[in-house]
């Protein structure tokens, strides 16, 4: 299962939805069941907010984390 996690100050839900849709389509084309979970958090550069994602991270095989790059 994939977990798409993204959030920037100005939003992020739309971008997560677009990428999740692309991953689902790619899974279907590859003949694999599409299992994509979406999650947005306030700021991925703040450990307090990352704790909110801990359960989702634990139950997934892979995590695709996107961010604004401010904390990079």
pLDDT at 60 over 60: yes
- What pLDDT, on the 0 to 100 scale, is given for residue 1? 52
Domains contained in the chain, number: 1
Kindly tell me if the per-residue pLDDT of 24 is higher than 80: yes
Rg from Cα positions in the chain: 13
Asked if the structure places residue 1 within a domain, the reply is no
Provide the pLDDT for residue 22.
Answer: 92
Q: Is residue 59 part of a domain?
A: yes
- What is the separation of C-alpha 14 from the centre of its chain, rounded to a whole number of angstroms? 11
> How do residues 3-18 score in pLDDT, each as one tens digit?
555 444 445 788 888 8
Residue 53: inside a domain, yes or no? Answer: yes
Tokens of 44: 């991925």
**How much is the pLDDT for 35?**
79
Residue 21 inside a domain? The answer is yes
Domain with 59 in it: 9-66
Domain contains 72: no
Q: Dump pLDDT digits (tens) for 38-48.
A: 888 776 667 77
In a domain, 15, yes or no: yes
């Amino acid at each position: 299962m994939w977990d798409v996690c993204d959030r920037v100050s100005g939003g992020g839900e739309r971008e997560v939805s677009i990428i999740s849709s692309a991953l689902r389509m790619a899974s279907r084309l590859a003949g694999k069941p599409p299992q994509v979970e979406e999650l947005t958090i306030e700021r991925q550069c703040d450990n307090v907010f990352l704790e909110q994602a801990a359960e989702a991270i634990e139950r997934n095989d892979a995590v695709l984390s996107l961010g604004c790059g401010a904390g990079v």
